[in-house]
Each structure stands twice: as C-alpha cells, then as structure tokens.
Structure 1
Amino acid sequence: MLQIGLSGGLETLCGQAYGARLYRRLGLYLQSSLIMSAAASALVSVLWVFTEPVLLLLRQEPRVSRAAAGFVRAQIPGLFAFASLQCLLRYLQMQSVVLPLVAFSAASFALHVALAYLLVGVLGLGIAGASAAVSVTFWAACLMLLAYVLRSEVFNETWKGFSVEAFRYVLPTVKLAAPSAVMVCFEYWAFELLVLVAGLLPNSTVSTSLIAICTSTETIAYMITYGFSAAVSTRVSNEIGAGNVDKAKNAVSVTMKLSVLLAISFVLFLAFCHNLWASLYSGSAVIVSEFAAIAPLLIVSIVLDSAQGVLSGVSRGCGWQHLAALTNLVAFYLIGMPLAIFFAFKLKFYTKGLWAGLICGLVCQACSLLVITVRTKWSKIAETMQQEKASYGGLA
C-alpha cells in the first residue's frame, strides 16, 4: 500500500502535465518517481526483515508470526519490482493507455497462476514457493511494461530517455507522493488494524477469521471502485491541465454514479448469497453463521467505500493529497478506531462493534471528501496550471 500511495503523486503530476501538453515532463516525473520509490523500497525491506519480532510485540500467535515473516522476507526482491511497476502503471494510465495494461495484467496473472501451481502444488515449497511466485510475477510484469514504454512509438513525445534532469523533479514528486502514501496507508492500515484488534476479542479464532473475511470482501468490492477512481483521477487531472473545468466536473458526477451503481450490484449479491460467500472462505458453520449476522454492516461499509473511492480519485487528480491524508487520519484514527474499540470491548458488541466503528470512520471520510469536492474552486486550479504552462512556454 505504501508503494501504491507513493505512485499516486504521478496521478496529479503526469495527469495535469499531459492535459497541458507538457509531454516531456511525464518522462521526467516517471524517472523521479522511480528514484523515490527505489529509496522507499530499501527502507521498507529493512522493516520486513524484522517482521516476526514486530508481530510478536503486537501479541500475535508465534507460529503465525513466524510463517508471516518467512512469506514477507521472501518477497523483498519483488518489492522493488512492485514499486517500479506502480510508477509505470500511473505513467501509462495518465495518458489513457488502457488496453495494453489489461493485456499485460492478464499475462502476468496467467504467469502467476502457473508459477504458484508449480512451486506450491508440484514442488511442494509451501509458503516460500507462494512468496517466490509473487516476486517473480512482479518482476516479469515490471520488465514487460518497461520494455513496452522503451520500444513503443506511442511514447515518443513523453519518453525522451533517461536523464539526469529527473533529479530536479524528485522533490516536487516527493511533496505529492508523501501525502498520497499517507492518505492510502491510513485507510488500508485501519482495516488491517481491525484484524489485529479482533485477535484480542474472546474466541479470537472466530473473531479474527470473521473480520479477515469482511476485510477481504471489502477489498474485492473496492477493486470495482478502484477502476473508477483511477478513471476519474485521469480525467480530472487531464481536463484541469487542459483548462476544461466543466469537463472535469462532469467526469466526477458520471464516475460517482457509475461507481455507486456497481457497488449496489455487489451488495445485492452479498445480501442474497452471504452464506455461499462465507463458505468460500471457511467450512466452519459458526463462522458462516456469524458472517450472516455482520453482513448488513458490511453492506453499508461497501456502499460508503465506493463513494469515497471515487472522491479519493478526485483528490489525487486535483493534487489534494494532503487534505485527503488529514481527512483519513481524523476519520479512522480519531473517530473510527476509538469507536470500534469502545463498541467492541466496552459495549461488548465484539466483531459487530469493530465493524460499526469502522463505518463511523467511513461516514466521516466520505462526507469530508464530498464537502471538499463540492467547495472546490475548479477554475482557480485550472488557472494555476495554465500559469505554470505559460512560464515554461508549453515546451517543458
């Protein structure tokens, strides 16, 4: 999530530069982001080495901590590939290059399935094999995209080769990437923190499994929204760069409606097939029954998450990452998590209480981002971009 967040700065920089026809800037922004992401990956890899003691400090089960540490350590090489891959994805995405991304993603997925089957199913390498399959897949996907960028004529205007000049753009990239990473991590970590807290509840095996299923389901539902989030980020940043304020506003309205509509479709499936869905995760009748009880709360959170997902995309397109990061800090850690702990432990609502507290955070987040979007002075943002374009003569 950190690397995904760091690459979010490119959604503002590359998107607005492309809309303003400052094509050469895109290649320089990409290179500066690759430099920054490599440095961040080196720092994260050091933390990953100490995964087991950190998990034990958080009072997690020793056996689970050891297994998780083994899986994470084996993925350290893949971390650098994943970071570069996210930068390349944003670079292409901001130029509305979509179909090649779909093709490369499909090829990577097929490769991953084959590798995982070979290393885990055939060679019996277990967790180590699964982790190795992930790392190899990331490197393959990264190298495929990089080769496409370097050899395709589509990017002749936006990619002029590697340049020392890219180091000049590292600081502007970091200024947007850092709050973008904080913005993404604050939200993602809130969900992960719920799983850790669930381990402290009575009958922790059931409660942890239940919250993990809910978190996984929320993530799957969010993947639908994430596509719209990326689309609205691209359209908004491009139109702002081009000075088309009305088109930017229209993109927000249309994307929000489509995202909520698809989220409702997923919600209807979950409402009528929750037992079937839970049985895909666990064969325990107790967990399936408990999931049915918490499903209505999960449905509410999915709808809220779909709305905020699009609004977060607008934030990245406009360069409001710092506002979104502050919003997520307040929504999840000053409101959502304290209420979740209060409901779960003090009022003894347990897993339902944890998810109810999360919903309170999501409500605060979605409403805050909506207010920011509605009160935005779009013309002022567009004017700032046009002034920057004029200062470089439209040639940078």
Structure 2
Amino acid sequence: MMGSSQESIQQPLLQSQTSNTKSETSSELEDTLSDARLSLFERFRKGTWIESKLLFHLAAPAVIVYMINYLMSMSTQIFSGHLGNLELAAASLGNTGIQVFAYGLMLGMGSAVETLCGQAFGAHKYDMLGIYLQRSAILLTLTGILLTIIYILSKPILLLLGESPDIASAAAIFVYGLIPQIFAYAINFPIQKFLQAQSIVAPSAYISTATLIIHLLLSWLAVYKIGLGLLGASLVLSLSWWIVVVAQFVYIVKSDKCRHTWKGFSVQAFTGLPSFFKLSAASAVMLCLETWYFQILVLLAGLLENPELALDSLSICMTISGWVFMISVGFNAAASVRVGNELGAGHPKSASFSVVIVTVFSAIISVAAAIIVLALRHVLSYAFTGGEVVAEAVSDLCPLLALTLILNGIQPVLSGVAVGCGWQAFVAYVNVGCYYVVGIPLGSLLGFYFKLGAKGIWSGMIGGTAMQTLILVWVTFRTDWKKEVEEARKRLVTWEDKKEPLLK
C-alpha cells in the first residue's frame, strides 16, 4: 500500500493532461464555494457555471449512450410489434418481463465499479481502476451463467406466473435470442463505469451511434427480408451489444487516455473477489429492486382481463418512459462520477453543490419531456402498432406517464448520488419499503379490486416511486459531506490492494 508521500511523488507521472485540467477545475469549484470574500449570490453564480461545464461534459455524452442503447431495445420491440399484436405483447413481455431481470442484476452489480473507480480516480489511485474493471467482469460473467438458466426456462416460468400460453410461448422464443446479450452486459457495464469514472464518455457515444445504425439495418434484414421473426430480432439485439463491447475494449487498449488506468490483464483481479462481491451484491440489490418493480407491474398487467391490450398499452407507455428515463440515467452516471470524484479528492462543498445542480437540471428536462408526451398523447402508439384500440388505451395512460417522467427526473439522479457515496445498502432498504410494501400492493388493489386495470397498476407504481423520491431527497440534503469525505478515504484504503505482476 502506498503512503501519501509516495503518492505525491508518483502523481505527476500518473496524471495525464486531461486529468490535470479536470482536477484544477474541480479545485477551482471548491475554492469558489469556500471563498468568504464573495457574496453568496456570486459564489452560487460562479459555482453553477463551473459545475455546469463539468456536469455536461459528462452528462451529455452519457445521456446519448444510454438513450441510444435503449433505443436498440426499443427499435427491436417496434420491429416485433409490426409483425402483429401477439408479437408485440411477446416482445414486451420478454424484454420487460425477463430481459430486464438480467439488466437490473448486471447493471446493479456493475455499479460497485462506479463507486470504487470514481473515488479512486478522484484520489489519483489510477492503477486500481483496471483491476476493479476486471474483478467486476469476472463476477458478472459468473452471474451470467446462472441467468442463462432462467432464460432457458423462461416459458415454464411465465406459465407458472399465469401468463397466456400463446404469449408465453412467443416470448420464450424472443428470450432465447437474448442469451448472448447477458454476457455482453457482463463486460459492457464494468467498461462503461471504468470510462465514466475518468470522464471519458464521448467515445462511447460515437460507438453507440454507429452501432445503432448497424442494428437498425440488420434488424430490418433479419425480421422482414430473411423472415427470422422474433428470434431474429432478439439475436440481432445481442449481436449489436457485442459490437459495442468489442469497440469499447479496443478503445481502452489503444487509447492514450487509458494508459495509466489500464495496465493489461492481471492476476490481482482474482484476489478479494468475496469482498468485492459483497459490495457488488449491495449495488445489485439496490438496482434490481427498482428494475424488478417495473417488471412485476408488467407481469401483473398480463393477468388482467384482455391481457394482450393491457400488455400492449402498458408496455408502450413504459417503453417511452424507459427511453426518456435514459436521460435521468445519464445524469445518474454523471452525478455518481462527480460526487465520487469530489469525495475522493476531499472536496465536501463541491460534492454537495454538484448534487443540487445535477438534480435541478435533470428535473427541468424531465418536466419538458412530460409536456411533450401530453401534447403527443394521441399519436405516440402508432410508432409501435397500427391498432386504434391500443392507441386509445395509450392516450388514456399518458397523464400517468407524464407524472412518472417528472418523478424519474429526480429519483435516479439521487440514486446516482447514493452510488457515488457508497450508500447502496441504504437505498436497497428504501426500495424494498417503497416499492414492495407500498407500490405493488397499491397497484394490485387499484388494478384488480377496484377494476381500474392498467391505470390502477401504474397509479400504484407512482405511489411507490413518489415515496422513494421524497425519502431520498430528505436524506441527501441532510448529509454531512465532510463525514462522507472521510468515509471515502477509509473505503479507498480498504480497497487498495498489494500490487502483483501483470499478465503479459
């Protein structure tokens, strides 16, 4: 373990020019917020300008990456939907009911890398970032093997949950083609967090944009020209994710920006896996409880009268919500990196100020998105299917969709702050209470007992999300940020390992 004097000697050698610039800007923010000679208004004005530049440097490309990656799944659902209403319901159930299960688990376990890499980069412990990436990839790959079994058994699982036999059979075919995607997740999520912690986000945006174009072309060929149907649509989606993974890894290996953080494959990645799993599991529980919450609501919709209409209308609204939600996920990633970097650098005022700015920006954008959805409520569904009955049902759900978008402009960002601080376990408890004690029972009561159908199920979801948001707001804005700086230092000391030879 290196002492502080050794770090001071090695730091100029480790830091790239880009890192120096970011570090200086971050220090400028802390100095500005601490400058008693400036009025409160002047500190806020200057601080907002500095933080906005830092934030949007991260958030803008991150939003593009997440929205495009989601758009790949969304376009797959659109291609499937134009095959027929049964295919739309099957793809929706497979995508939202089964695939989201893996997505939540993988992304949640990958957020341990987000906490450790963000704080290690802020503390200039650059050589540990590559080790954290490899450890996470190992754990996620092992997890992927277990998830493959669930995918293979998707049809009996859906039937056991009471889904329609026709929809369950078609959904299972769709899910089989998503098995390779599981292992793409296992590599992609750690890579994303590794790059984001270093404020390297633009390359991922370029890669995702190029991959989306390839994905749309291949989907059109597989579904409409070759006639591979649902299986072809999901196989193309898996292939597209692997294109993203390979391109990002090539960038890491070849780019000068990663030369201090990626030193090659190391046997050190196989050490400390049980402890790393513990932190990863806490992250996974936090996010899984959130993503599975929405998954359960879709499964509940499949149990309503006229399940095909309920699934079609609810899944279209939730797909739109999910796409707009990617804006908040991008801000979530930016918030996690900004807060993690500032805590690692020992800047409590900058960390707390970053929370305020990122929350305000994300909320404003989400309100604008909600207004657009309400304005287009009568035509939104026609991108997915041509049915007028579905269009009317979607239009009826749009006010609830708009309210969901506003809540989702705040809650994911505060979850990102929690990841940056390492509060995953606490948020997991909040999610259990709000989602599973309030949201799902309330949605079931309104949807089935009071016969409100999909509207009742979604209203319950909103109740749980609203409670969660209020709790996170209260906790975040009562945080002792000086104490969080000390906690970050302790965490980095715990996780900085003895160096071992790299594998050539």
SS in structure 1 at match of 2:378: helix
Task: Give deviations 1:207-230, integer Å, cap 9, x for gaps.
Answer: 222221221122112011111111
- C-alpha separation in 2, matches of 1:9 and 1:280: 37
- Distance change in 2, residues 1:27/1:169 (3 Å): farther
Task: Give deviations 1:130-177, integer Å, cap 9, x for gaps.
Answer: 122112212221111111111222111111111111122423432222
The answer on whether the counterparts of 1:22 and 1:394 sit within 8 Å (CA) in structure 2 is no
After TM superposition, give the deviation of residue 8 of structure 1 in Å: 0.9
- C-alpha separation in 2, matches of 1:46 and 1:241: 39
The answer to whether structure 1 residue 338 and structure 2 residue 441 are counterparts is: yes
Counterpart in the other structure of 1:348: 451
Counterpart in the other structure of 2:148: 45
The answer to whether structure 1 residue 242 and structure 2 residue 338 are counterparts is: no
- Distance change in 2, residues 1:63/1:20 (3 Å): same
Q: Percent identity?
A: 36
Counterpart in the other structure of 2:194: 91
Moved more, 156-165 or 282-291: 282-291
The answer on whether the counterparts of 1:28 and 1:169 sit within 8 Å (CA) in structure 2 is no
Counterpart in the other structure of 1:224: 327
Matches within 5 A, 1:62-211: 62-211=165-314
The answer to whether structure 1 residue 56 and structure 2 residue 159 are counterparts is: yes
Unaligned segments of structure 1, at least 5 residues? none
After TM superposition, give the deviation of residue 389 of structure 1 in Å: 5.4
- C-alpha separation in 1, matches of 2:432 and 2:495: 36
364, 370, 389: which one pairs with 1:267? Answer: 370
Task: Give deviations 1:97-117, integer Å, cap 9, x for gaps.
Answer: 011111111122122122212
| TM-score, normalised by the number of residues in structure 2 | 0.75
- C-alpha separation in 2, matches of 1:48 and 1:329: 25
Moved more, 380-389 or 157-166: 380-389
Aligned residues: 396
After TM superposition, give the deviation of residue 374 of structure 1 in Å: 1.6
- C-alpha separation in 2, matches of 1:107 and 1:321: 34
Task: Give deviations 1:305-363, integer Å, cap 9, x for gaps.
Answer: 11101111101111111111111111111100001111122222222211111111011
- C-alpha separation in 1, matches of 2:166 and 2:229: 15
After TM superposition, give the deviation of residue 16 of structure 1 in Å: 0.3
Unaligned segments of structure 2, at least 5 residues? 1-102, 500-504
SS in structure 2 at match of 1:274: coil
- C-alpha separation in 2, matches of 1:224 and 1:393: 33
The answer on whether the counterparts of 2:128 and 2:496 sit within 8 Å (CA) in structure 1 is no
- C-alpha separation in 2, matches of 1:312 and 1:30: 21
- C-alpha separation in 2, matches of 1:357 and 1:230: 27
The answer on whether the counterparts of 1:21 and 1:394 sit within 8 Å (CA) in structure 2 is no
Matches within 5 A, 1:243-392: 243-387=346-490
Question: What amino acid is the match of 1:235?
Answer: R
After TM superposition, give the deviation of residue 4 of structure 1 in Å: 1.3
- C-alpha separation in 2, matches of 1:218 and 1:393: 39
Question: What amino acid is the match of 1:85?
Answer: N
- C-alpha separation in 2, matches of 1:342 and 1:158: 51
After TM superposition, give the deviation of residue 199 of structure 1 in Å: 2.1
The answer to whether structure 1 residue 4 and structure 2 residue 107 are counterparts is: yes
- C-alpha separation in 1, matches of 2:413 and 2:384: 28
The answer on whether the counterparts of 1:233 and 1:314 sit within 8 Å (CA) in structure 2 is yes
The answer on whether the counterparts of 2:176 and 2:231 sit within 8 Å (CA) in structure 1 is no
| TM-score, normalised by the number of residues in structure 1 | 0.95
Counterpart in the other structure of 1:23: 126
After TM superposition, give the deviation of residue 190 of structure 1 in Å: 1.5
SS in structure 1 at match of 2:206: helix
- Distance change in 2, residues 1:163/1:273 (3 Å): same
The answer on whether the counterparts of 1:22 and 1:395 sit within 8 Å (CA) in structure 2 is no
Question: What amino acid is the match of 2:337?
Answer: T
After TM superposition, give the deviation of residue 388 of structure 1 in Å: 5.5
After TM superposition, give the deviation of residue 280 of structure 1 in Å: 2.5
The answer on whether the counterparts of 2:211 and 2:243 sit within 8 Å (CA) in structure 1 is yes
- C-alpha separation in 2, matches of 1:119 and 1:229: 34
Counterpart in the other structure of 1:32: 135
215, 223, 226: which one pairs with 2:318? Answer: 215
- C-alpha separation in 1, matches of 2:497 and 2:338: 20
The answer on whether the counterparts of 1:245 and 1:379 sit within 8 Å (CA) in structure 2 is yes
- Distance change in 2, residues 1:391/1:257 (3 Å): closer
Task: Give deviations 1:208-257, integer Å, cap 9, x for gaps.
Answer: 22221221122112011111111111100011111111111111111111
- Distance change in 2, residues 1:62/1:392 (3 Å): closer
- C-alpha separation in 2, matches of 1:162 and 1:392: 18
- Distance change in 2, residues 1:139/1:383 (3 Å): same
The answer on whether the counterparts of 2:119 and 2:492 sit within 8 Å (CA) in structure 1 is no
- C-alpha separation in 1, matches of 2:245 and 2:304: 41
Moved over 4 A (4+): 387-396
After TM superposition, give the deviation of residue 77 of structure 1 in Å: 2.3
- C-alpha separation in 2, matches of 1:64 and 1:366: 34
After TM superposition, give the deviation of residue 203 of structure 1 in Å: 2.7
- Distance change in 2, residues 1:127/1:257 (3 Å): same
